[in-house]
Protein backbone atom coordinates (compact mmCIF):
# COMPACT_ATOMS: atom_id res chain seq x y z
CA UNK A 1 0.00 0.00 0.00
CA UNK A 2 1.27 3.42 -0.94
CA UNK A 3 0.09 6.42 1.07
CA UNK A 4 0.64 10.09 0.34
CA UNK A 5 0.53 12.26 3.46
CA UNK A 6 0.44 16.04 3.39
CA UNK A 7 2.15 18.04 6.07
CA UNK A 8 2.14 21.76 6.77
CA UNK A 9 4.44 23.65 9.07
CA UNK A 10 2.52 26.02 11.33
CA UNK A 11 3.52 28.55 13.99
CA UNK A 12 3.68 26.70 17.32
CA UNK A 13 0.09 26.88 18.66
CA UNK A 14 1.47 27.15 22.21
CA UNK A 15 3.29 30.38 21.35
CA UNK A 16 1.62 33.75 21.80
CA UNK A 17 0.50 35.32 18.54
CA UNK A 18 2.04 38.66 17.61
CA UNK A 19 0.69 41.29 15.28
CA UNK A 20 2.47 43.92 13.24
CA UNK A 21 0.10 46.51 11.84
CA UNK A 22 -2.73 44.63 10.14
CA UNK A 23 -0.80 41.39 9.71
CA UNK A 24 0.70 38.58 11.75
CA UNK A 25 4.24 39.08 12.99
CA UNK A 26 5.85 35.71 12.39
CA UNK A 27 9.45 36.95 12.70
CA UNK A 28 10.00 35.13 15.99
CA UNK A 29 7.62 32.20 15.34
CA UNK A 30 8.75 28.66 16.05
CA UNK A 31 7.38 26.31 13.45
CA UNK A 32 6.06 22.84 14.20
CA UNK A 33 4.26 20.20 12.16
CA UNK A 34 0.52 20.93 12.10
CA UNK A 35 -0.77 18.55 14.82
CA UNK A 36 -3.46 16.99 12.60
CA UNK A 37 -0.85 16.33 9.90
CA UNK A 38 1.41 14.66 12.43
CA UNK A 39 -1.55 12.42 13.30
CA UNK A 40 -1.94 11.68 9.58
CA UNK A 41 1.73 10.60 9.42
CA UNK A 42 1.18 8.33 12.43
CA UNK A 43 -1.96 6.89 10.83
CA UNK A 44 -0.09 6.20 7.58
CA UNK A 45 2.71 4.45 9.45
CA UNK A 46 0.24 2.30 11.37
CA UNK A 47 -1.49 1.26 8.14
CA UNK A 48 1.80 0.28 6.45
CA UNK A 49 3.47 -1.82 9.12
CA UNK A 50 3.18 -5.06 10.99
CA UNK A 51 3.61 -3.40 14.35
CA UNK A 52 4.05 -6.56 16.40
CA UNK A 53 6.97 -7.61 14.17
CA UNK A 54 8.31 -4.09 13.54
CA UNK A 55 8.13 -4.69 9.77
CA UNK A 56 7.24 -2.19 7.05
CA UNK A 57 4.71 -3.43 4.50
CA UNK A 58 4.02 -0.32 2.45
CA UNK A 59 5.32 3.08 1.42
CA UNK A 60 4.62 6.47 2.98
CA UNK A 61 5.45 9.59 0.97
CA UNK A 62 5.23 12.89 2.87
CA UNK A 63 4.60 16.13 1.00
CA UNK A 64 4.89 19.70 2.16
CA UNK A 65 4.45 23.04 0.45
CA UNK A 66 6.56 25.84 1.87
CA UNK A 67 9.92 27.55 1.95
CA UNK A 68 13.22 25.63 2.18
CA UNK A 69 12.94 25.64 5.98
CA UNK A 70 9.91 23.34 5.74
CA UNK A 71 12.42 20.55 4.96
CA UNK A 72 12.92 20.39 8.71
CA UNK A 73 9.30 19.29 9.30
CA UNK A 74 9.57 16.77 6.45
CA UNK A 75 12.75 15.35 8.02
CA UNK A 76 10.90 14.89 11.30
CA UNK A 77 8.26 12.82 9.47
CA UNK A 78 11.03 10.79 7.80
CA UNK A 79 12.56 10.26 11.23
CA UNK A 80 9.21 8.92 12.48
CA UNK A 81 9.41 6.34 9.69
CA UNK A 82 8.05 7.82 6.45
CA UNK A 83 9.97 6.59 3.39
CA UNK A 84 10.56 9.67 1.29
CA UNK A 85 9.58 13.31 1.04
CA UNK A 86 8.65 15.93 -1.53
CA UNK A 87 8.96 19.65 -0.84
CA UNK A 88 7.03 21.93 -3.17
CA UNK A 89 8.35 25.49 -3.11
CA UNK A 90 5.74 28.01 -1.96
CA UNK A 91 4.94 30.81 0.44
CA UNK A 92 2.95 28.97 3.07
CA UNK A 93 1.59 32.18 4.58
CA UNK A 94 -0.29 33.29 1.46
CA UNK A 95 -1.23 30.06 -0.34
CA UNK A 96 -4.96 29.41 -0.29
CA UNK A 97 -6.60 26.00 0.07
CA UNK A 98 -7.27 25.79 -3.67
CA UNK A 99 -3.60 26.25 -4.59
CA UNK A 100 -2.60 23.62 -2.02
CA UNK A 101 -5.22 21.18 -3.30
CA UNK A 102 -4.19 21.70 -6.97
CA UNK A 103 -0.59 20.87 -6.09
CA UNK A 104 -1.58 17.80 -4.06
CA UNK A 105 -3.88 16.63 -6.86
CA UNK A 106 -1.04 16.92 -9.41
CA UNK A 107 1.29 14.98 -7.12
CA UNK A 108 -1.39 12.28 -6.81
CA UNK A 109 -1.48 11.98 -10.60
CA UNK A 110 2.31 11.45 -10.58
CA UNK A 111 2.58 9.23 -7.50
CA UNK A 112 -0.69 7.29 -7.85
CA UNK A 113 -1.08 6.56 -4.12
CA UNK A 114 -3.71 4.10 -2.86
CA UNK A 115 -4.65 6.57 -0.16
CA UNK A 116 -4.21 10.29 0.49
CA UNK A 117 -4.11 11.09 4.21
CA UNK A 118 -4.37 14.67 5.40
CA UNK A 119 -5.00 16.48 8.67
CA UNK A 120 -8.59 17.72 8.87
CA UNK A 121 -7.36 21.29 9.06
CA UNK A 122 -4.20 23.32 9.56
CA UNK A 123 -4.38 25.01 12.95
CA UNK A 124 -3.16 28.35 11.55
CA UNK A 125 -5.59 28.91 8.66
CA UNK A 126 -8.36 26.71 10.20
CA UNK A 127 -9.98 26.51 6.74
CA UNK A 128 -10.78 22.80 6.64
CA UNK A 129 -10.99 22.67 2.83
CA UNK A 130 -7.90 21.08 1.26
CA UNK A 131 -8.79 17.39 1.69
CA UNK A 132 -12.31 17.77 0.31
CA UNK A 133 -10.97 19.88 -2.59
CA UNK A 134 -8.37 17.24 -3.53
CA UNK A 135 -11.10 14.58 -3.51
CA UNK A 136 -13.35 16.83 -5.58
CA UNK A 137 -10.67 17.65 -8.16
CA UNK A 138 -9.67 14.00 -8.57
CA UNK A 139 -13.23 12.62 -8.42
CA UNK A 140 -12.22 10.36 -5.52
CA UNK A 141 -14.38 9.31 -2.57
CA UNK A 142 -13.68 11.17 0.68
CA UNK A 143 -13.94 10.43 4.38
CA UNK A 144 -13.33 13.50 6.52
CA UNK A 145 -12.83 13.90 10.28
CA UNK A 146 -11.74 10.26 10.71
CA UNK A 147 -11.48 8.98 14.27
CA UNK A 148 -10.95 5.34 13.26
CA UNK A 149 -9.86 3.42 10.16
CA UNK A 150 -10.13 -0.23 9.30
CA UNK A 151 -8.72 -1.78 6.14
CA UNK A 152 -10.75 -4.61 4.59
CA UNK A 153 -9.30 -8.14 4.31
CA UNK A 154 -8.64 -7.67 0.59
CA UNK A 155 -7.01 -4.29 1.22
CA UNK A 156 -9.35 -2.58 -1.22
CA UNK A 157 -11.70 -0.65 1.04
CA UNK A 158 -11.51 1.36 4.24
CA UNK A 159 -14.23 1.61 6.85
CA UNK A 160 -13.87 5.00 8.45
CA UNK A 161 -15.37 6.22 11.72
CA UNK A 162 -16.25 9.89 11.19
CA UNK A 163 -17.00 12.27 14.00
CA UNK A 164 -20.26 13.95 13.04
CA UNK A 165 -22.84 16.07 14.91
CA UNK A 166 -24.52 13.73 17.37
CA UNK A 167 -22.25 10.70 17.16
CA UNK A 168 -19.91 8.66 15.01
CA UNK A 169 -20.78 7.75 11.43
CA UNK A 170 -19.25 4.68 9.79
CA UNK A 171 -18.54 5.21 6.10
CA UNK A 172 -17.01 2.75 3.67
CA UNK A 173 -14.85 4.01 0.82
CA UNK A 174 -13.06 2.07 -1.91
CA UNK A 175 -9.41 2.91 -2.53
CA UNK A 176 -8.00 5.15 -3.83
CA UNK A 177 -9.63 7.71 -1.57
CA UNK A 178 -8.90 10.87 0.42
CA UNK A 179 -9.17 10.65 4.21
CA UNK A 180 -8.72 13.57 6.62
CA UNK A 181 -8.01 12.74 10.24
CA UNK A 182 -9.32 14.10 13.52
CA UNK A 183 -7.82 13.97 17.02
CA UNK A 184 -9.03 10.55 18.04
CA UNK A 185 -7.25 8.73 15.21
CA UNK A 186 -4.14 8.44 17.41
CA UNK A 187 -5.87 6.42 20.12
CA UNK A 188 -4.26 3.02 20.84
CA UNK A 189 -6.62 0.90 18.72
CA UNK A 190 -8.03 3.42 16.24
CA UNK A 191 -6.20 2.13 13.15
CA UNK A 192 -6.57 -1.47 11.97
CA UNK A 193 -4.75 -2.86 8.94
CA UNK A 194 -5.42 -6.62 9.37
CA UNK A 195 -1.70 -7.34 9.39
CA UNK A 196 -0.89 -6.05 12.84
CA UNK A 197 -2.68 -8.19 15.44
CA UNK A 198 -6.04 -6.70 16.49
CA UNK A 199 -4.84 -7.11 20.09
CA UNK A 200 -1.98 -4.72 19.51
CA UNK A 201 -2.40 -1.42 21.34
CA UNK A 202 -0.30 1.52 20.24
CA UNK A 203 1.05 4.18 22.53
CA UNK A 204 -1.45 7.00 22.36
CA UNK A 205 -0.31 9.85 20.14
CA UNK A 206 2.16 10.20 17.31
CA UNK A 207 5.33 8.17 17.81
CA UNK A 208 8.63 9.75 18.76
CA UNK A 209 11.52 9.49 16.34
CA UNK A 210 14.24 7.13 17.58
CA UNK A 211 17.90 8.10 17.30
CA UNK A 212 18.20 5.44 14.62
CA UNK A 213 15.20 6.97 12.84
CA UNK A 214 16.77 10.43 12.96
CA UNK A 215 20.03 9.10 11.49
CA UNK A 216 18.18 7.16 8.79
CA UNK A 217 16.09 10.23 7.89
CA UNK A 218 19.22 12.10 6.80
CA UNK A 219 19.78 9.57 4.04
CA UNK A 220 16.19 9.36 2.84
CA UNK A 221 15.15 11.03 -0.40
CA UNK A 222 13.81 14.59 -0.15
CA UNK A 223 12.92 15.85 -3.60
CA UNK A 224 12.37 19.56 -4.23
CA UNK A 225 9.98 20.71 -6.94
CA UNK A 226 8.11 23.88 -7.86
CA UNK A 227 4.37 24.27 -8.58
CA UNK A 228 5.43 25.09 -12.16
CA UNK A 229 7.20 21.70 -12.48
CA UNK A 230 3.92 20.07 -11.52
CA UNK A 231 1.79 22.20 -13.82
CA UNK A 232 -0.03 23.60 -10.80
CA UNK A 233 1.03 27.25 -10.72
CA UNK A 234 -2.21 29.11 -10.04
CA UNK A 235 -3.04 32.45 -8.45
CA UNK A 236 -4.71 32.63 -5.03
CA UNK A 237 -8.49 32.91 -5.20
CA UNK A 238 -8.88 33.88 -1.58
CA UNK A 239 -6.80 36.91 -0.65
CA UNK A 240 -6.11 37.94 2.91
CA UNK A 241 -6.72 41.67 3.15
CA UNK A 242 -5.72 42.01 6.78
CA UNK A 243 -5.41 40.08 10.01
CA UNK A 244 -6.18 41.68 13.36
CA UNK A 245 -6.46 40.61 16.99
CA UNK A 246 -9.99 39.98 18.23
CA UNK A 247 -11.36 42.37 20.83
CA UNK A 248 -10.32 41.08 24.23
CA UNK A 249 -13.08 39.97 26.52
CA UNK A 250 -12.87 41.90 29.73
CA UNK A 251 -12.41 39.87 32.85
CA UNK A 252 -15.39 40.06 35.17
CA UNK A 253 -15.74 39.77 38.88
CA UNK A 254 -15.04 37.06 41.42
CA UNK A 255 -17.93 36.00 43.59
CA UNK A 256 -17.43 34.57 47.07
CA UNK A 257 -20.34 32.18 47.39
CA UNK A 258 -22.75 30.11 45.32
CA UNK A 259 -25.62 32.22 46.65
CA UNK A 260 -23.97 35.40 45.41
CA UNK A 261 -23.39 33.77 42.00
CA UNK A 262 -27.04 32.75 41.64
CA UNK A 263 -28.18 36.23 42.72
CA UNK A 264 -25.92 37.89 40.10
CA UNK A 265 -27.01 35.52 37.35
CA UNK A 266 -30.66 36.13 38.19
CA UNK A 267 -30.75 39.85 38.97
CA UNK A 268 -27.76 41.35 37.14
CA UNK A 269 -27.13 39.16 34.08
CA UNK A 270 -30.78 37.98 33.94
CA UNK A 271 -29.83 34.67 32.31
CA UNK A 272 -31.58 32.36 34.78
Partner 1 sequence: MATVLVLCESKGSALRGASLPAVSFGREMAKARGAELALLLVGAGASAAAGDAAKLGAQRVIVVDDPRLGAYLAETWAPIVARVAREQGADVVAATATNLGKDLLPRVAALLDCGMASEVMAILGPSRFRRPMLAGNALAEIEVTTPTLVATVRQTEFPPAQPQGTPCEIVRVEAGAVSDLGAAFVALQETKSERPELTEARIVVSGGRGMRNGENFGFIEKLCDVLGAAMGASRAACDAGFVPNDLQVGQTGKVVAPDLYIAVAISGAIQHLAGMKSSKVIVAVNKDAEAPIFQVADYGLVAQWEKAIPELTEEIQKLKSAQS
Does 264 bind partner 1 (CB under 8 A)? Our answer is yes
Taking contact as CB under 8 A, which single stretch among the options 37-45, 59-67, 72-80, 165-173 is the one that binds partner 1? 165-173
Decide if residue 129 touches partner 1 (CB under 8 A). Answer: yes
Give least dist CB 170 to partner 1, A. Answer: 4
Is residue 74 within 8 Å of 7, Cβ to Cβ?
Answer: yes
Residue 267 binds partner 1, judged by CB under 8 A: no
Using the rule CB under 8 A, is 249 a contact of partner 1?
A: yes
The interface with partner 1 within residues 41-60 (CB under 8 A) comprises: none
Tell me the three state secondary structure of residue 130.
helix
- Write out the binding residues for partner 1, residues 92-121 only, by CB under 8 A: 96-98, 101, 120-121
Question: How far apart are the C-alpha atoms of 141 and 6, rounded to whole Å?
Answer: 17
Q: Which of 171, 213, 214, 220 binds partner 1 (CB under 8 A)?
A: 171
What's the chain's length in residues? 272
DSSP notation for 28-44: TPPEEE-HHHHHHHHHH
Q: How far is CA 91 from the centre of its chain?
A: 18
If you ran DSSP here, which 8-state letter would residue 190 be given?
S
Assess contact for 260 and 254: CB atoms under 8 A: no
Which of 128, 213, 216, 222 touches partner 1 by CB under 8 A?
128
17 binds partner 1 (CB under 8 A): yes
C-beta of 4 vs 24, nearer to partner 1: 24
Cβ 132 to partner 1, closest distance in Å? 4
Is the CB of 75 or the CB of 192 nearer to partner 1?
192
CA distance 79 to 66: 19
155 binds partner 1 (CB under 8 A): no
CA distance linking residue 185 with residue 44, whole number of Å: 11
User: What residues does 157 pair with on adjacent strands?
Assistant: 174
Q: If binding is defined by CB under 8 A, does position 189 make contact with partner 1?
A: no
- Residues 179, 174: Cα–Cα separation, whole Å: 11
Could you tell me how many residues of this chain bind partner 1 (CB under 8 A)? 80
233 binds partner 1 per the rule CB under 8 A: no
Shortest distance, position 101 Cβ to partner 1, whole Å: 7
| Least Cβ distance, residue 224 to partner 1 (angstroms) | 27
Beta carbons of 93 and 23 less than 8 angstroms apart: no
User: Contacting partner 1 (CB under 8 A), which of 56, 172, 189, 218?
Assistant: 172
CA distance 142 to 178: 5
Amino acid sequence: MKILVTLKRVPDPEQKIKFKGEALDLSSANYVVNPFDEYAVETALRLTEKADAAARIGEVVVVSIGPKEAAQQLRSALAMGADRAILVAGDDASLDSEQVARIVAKLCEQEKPDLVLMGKQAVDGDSNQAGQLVAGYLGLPQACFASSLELSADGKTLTVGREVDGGVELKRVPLPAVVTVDLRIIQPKAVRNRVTSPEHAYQEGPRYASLKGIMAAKKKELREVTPGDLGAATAARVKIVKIVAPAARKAGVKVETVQELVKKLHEEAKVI
